[in-house]
Amino acid sequence: MKKQLLTLALAVMAIAATAQNSAIYKIDELIQKGQLGAAASLADEILANPKTTKFQEVYNKAGQVQIMQFTPELIQASQGMPFDTLTFCTGVDRAVKYYTKSFEATQGVDAKGKPNKSDKKIAEDTHQRLLAMVDFYNYAAMFVYANGDKDNALRYFQSYVDYPKNPAFSPEERDSLNLANKENYAQTRYNLCMLYYTKKDWPKLLANAPAALEDHFNNHDIYVALENAYLEMGDSAKWEETLIDAATLEGDAGFSDELIGYYYTNHLSEKATTLVNNMTAQRPNDAMTWYIKGCVENDLNNDIEAAREAYRHCLAIDPAFLRANINMGVTYNNEIARRAANHEFDNANRGMYSRDTKDIFMQETRTIRDLYLESCKYFEAARNAAPDQPREWGRKLQGVYAQLRLLHENLDEKDVAKQYEEKYDEVTKICDAM
């Protein structure tokens, strides 16, 4: 960045000077004497004089003086040396204002209804200088933010993203500037949202969030800021809407879990069911909507089959959907627990069998084994989908492998039991290392 700052600073200084009139000549004399402050004051006096007519030239010269004042500070910054932040920032502000007014002075008609005259060399100089300063508001924002000045950081960040709207630029140039600086503008719109969030300026945050979300730059943080803002404002409807958007539009399972938790805590199963049914109807090809429906069916409605059906839709769209695979596996574990509580597996759970109950024991054991195999399939899919996230699947696989080892031993399938023992040992090492 330092090299870029220095390059831009030198580029701004290298732009050719324009024609002069007698008043502007006095400004040049002061510049040659190194009296830049006096030159700036004289330019302002000329602009305030009601007899002044050559506004294009005077504004252009006033802008040049500002550049000459702040450029040494920019060079200092580019070299990592102490510099005057205030001189740089106010200089950029004034230079942009003067050059913009220089351009505007050539637009429209004069008091007599005649088109305002324009010196082509001055116009080109003005245009090129404005183009050369395109990044300077961003630098100003970062400089003042580093000094803890959030208010001016907000102002300069806003001026930076608005810069392509300068009237001196053609529509094609605006598009080109927006495209060339797309990533920087995305970062800046994000910065604006986060700064307004830290200042608890909820209206400004809400006003800036839509444009920032369109950039898809750290949208997770922006949605967190929005949901907290709505909580602070006491707007539960907007808070809920934000979570729904975050979950479905960004595919963030954390937001969907928070939403389901809210419905669960407040016993809103009917509302949740209506919501997820509408969501899946409107977005049948969206994996996240089916995932959310599966959570609602399982957690709020205790309908395992409906939950599995929803998760199957989700995984058909996205087989690597981590939480859907895990939740699907959990449904089989839950089914085993539920059926055991209903005494369907009493013989298998005794751990031994007599001659009279052997067939029942084996049948129940095979049923439990098959359910754990289904569970295992989805937990292993979760592992394959996110091998670097053992906290999500490690303990679950460890438990399933332990059960399958025991079940195959009870079915007198020693070789298979040995395989699951080895898998259990492998996952145990991973879990112990977490």
Tokens standing for 83?
A: 């510099």
pTM confidence score: 0.73
- How many C-beta atoms lie closer than 10 Å to residue 96's C-beta? 21
Instruction: Tell the residue number behind the tokens 């053992």, with chain if given.
Output: 390
Q: Please, which pLDDT band fits residue 19 given cuts at 50, 70 and 90?
A: very low
The gap between the terminal CA atoms of the chain, to the nearest Å, is 39
C-beta separation of 57 from 122 below 8 A = yes
pLDDT tens figures, 364-421:
999 999 999 999 999 999 999 999 999 999 999 999 999 999 999 999 999 999 999 9
User: Taking 70 as the threshold, does the pLDDT of residue 427 lie above it?
Assistant: yes
Task: State the pLDDT at residue 1.
Answer: 57
Kindly give the residue spans of alpha helices, DSSP state H, lying in 147-181.
Answer: 150-162, 171-180
Question: Is the confidence at residue 359, as pLDDT, over 60?
Answer: yes
Is the separation of the CB atoms in 148 and 157 below 8 Å? Answer: no
Domain ranges of the chain: 322-432
Distances (CA, A) of 415 to 48, 380, 404, 412: 96, 20, 12, 9
Res. 349 pLDDT band, cuts 50 70 90: confident
Angle separating helix axes 236-250 and 287-295, nearest 10 degrees: 130
Give the number of other CB atoms < 10 A from CB of residue 385: 19
* Amino acid of residue 32: Q
The pLDDT tens digits of the residues spanning 296-331 come to 999 899 999 999 999 999 999 999 999 999 999 999
